Amino acid sequence: MNLKAIPFKRSAKLLALLLTSMLIATVSAITYLQLTMSSTVAVYKSNVYFVIGSDNGTKNLEVELDSTKTTATLTGLRAYPNASFTYSDPVKVRNNATTGSAPQIRLAPDVNPSANPEDFEYVKFLLNGTSARWLNFTSNSTAWSNTGTTNWITIPNSTQWSIAVVTKATAGAAVSASVTITIKVDVD
Amino acid sequence: MASGLLPEFFALLGIDLFLMLSLLTCLLDDRVPKAIPYIYQIAALVGYGHILVSKDFFTVFGEYMRFWYCFIYLLVSLANIVAVNIYFAAVKKQWTLAKVWSGAVSFPTILISIFFVSNYSYLQGVPFPLLLQIALVVAAIIMGTSVAIFLSPGALRNKFKEE
């Protein structure tokens, strides 16, 4: 198409349309930009939360959940010298959603323990899902170390999995020695 | 974290497509009815209305509803591009122009729209199947190469002279 051959009337029409087009496109883009700036963030009730497990009230264990069920506190966990001791169902993590894509979860250390490394061999946490996810805190008698954040695992909707705890104290552990461990359950 | 697209992006894309249609049909006004460029301008204004409604009722309308009315608007604009293509080919019997329109307008706009829709669906956690993604990339490469080969300026000039 030879643009020079376009008659004046047609050029004027094209120019008018071009100007209105630019106006509409610019105003639309500005409005869209304002829309992106005014995006709101609302707080929703989480579909993933903790549920008290069947071990609560047994083996000296007490489990407490906060009002939103997003923090679980386990007290009274026992560790025996030179013997592995397992709490198979102290607390569960539940995905209460019924529709939509299933979230992924993982275990992650939050605060690494520092107390009494000479009295413990390990404290292990097992996310007992479709495949196991272990987060282990082990002691070499002088310091604690951990295996780090686990891999993600997809928890299906309307499903709950237990987080098992396995403990072991050293053969010569002092009675009443204790350690505090904080872990997180990340949700994506 | 990458910032996600808002559903209104599809309305914005639709507006730009209608404006492009308006200008192109104005350039080709000896082949299309005179009112068509103005109708497309009005259609673009309707799209702007979509965005304004979304802005004023942002929290009232859920993202699901906003996505669908913006996406349908984009589909309407794409349907118009294809309709003009069919009009040139079937009604006006201008095969060369229809081919040029197909290679330079219809296919690229459809491909760009698919790209943004797939990007949006990926960010929403519903990615396109891998096979479909590969098919789209292959289609884009084949079509792009074909357009470059068969719609070279020299070949088109000769074709237009023939018609």
Helix pair angle (B130-150, B107-123), 10° resolution: 160
Structure tokens at A175: 């009675």
Taking the C-alpha atoms of residue B7 and residue B76, their distance in angstroms, rounded to an integer, is 16
Element (H, E) at A163: strand A159-169
Counting the structural domains of chain B, the total is 1
DSSP letter (8 states) at residue A82 = T
For the stretch B80-105, what's the b/e string if a residue is b when 16 or more beta carbons lie within 10 angstroms of its beta carbon? bbeebbebbbeeeebebbbbbbbbeb
What is the C-alpha to C-alpha distance for residues A104 and A66, in angstroms, rounded to an integer?
22
Range of B120's domain?
8-162
Is B2 part of any domain? no
Task: Identify the three-state secondary structure at position A124.
Answer: strand
B48: nearest CA partner in chain A: A28
Examine residue B79 and state whether it is found in any structural domain, yes or no: yes
Q: Which residues of chain A have pLDDT under 50?
A: none
pLDDT exceeds cutoff 70 at B96:
yes
Strands, sheet with A132-139, edge to edge from the N-terminal-most edge strand: A48-52, A85-95, A159-169, A120-128, A132-139, A144-146
Computed over every residue of chain A, the mean pLDDT equals 88
B80 lies in a domain? Answer: yes
Model confidence, pTM: 0.55
Q: Express each pLDDT in A14-32 by its tens digit.
A: 899 999 999 999 999 999 9
Asked whether residue B27 is domain-assigned, the answer is yes
* B89 belongs to a structural domain: yes
Q: Residue A63 in contact with residue A53, Cβ under 8 Å?
A: yes
Q: Do B47 and A28 touch (CB under 8 A)?
A: yes
Residues of chain B in contact with residue A40, where contact means CB-CB under 8 angstroms, are: 58-59
Provide, rounded to the nearest whole percent, the portion of chain B with pLDDT above 90: 37
Chain B residues with beta carbon closer than 8 angstroms to that of A1:
27
Beta bridge partners of A62: A75
Residue B1 resides in a domain:
no
Q: How many residues does chain B have?
A: 163
* d(CA B68, nearest CA chain A) in Å: 17
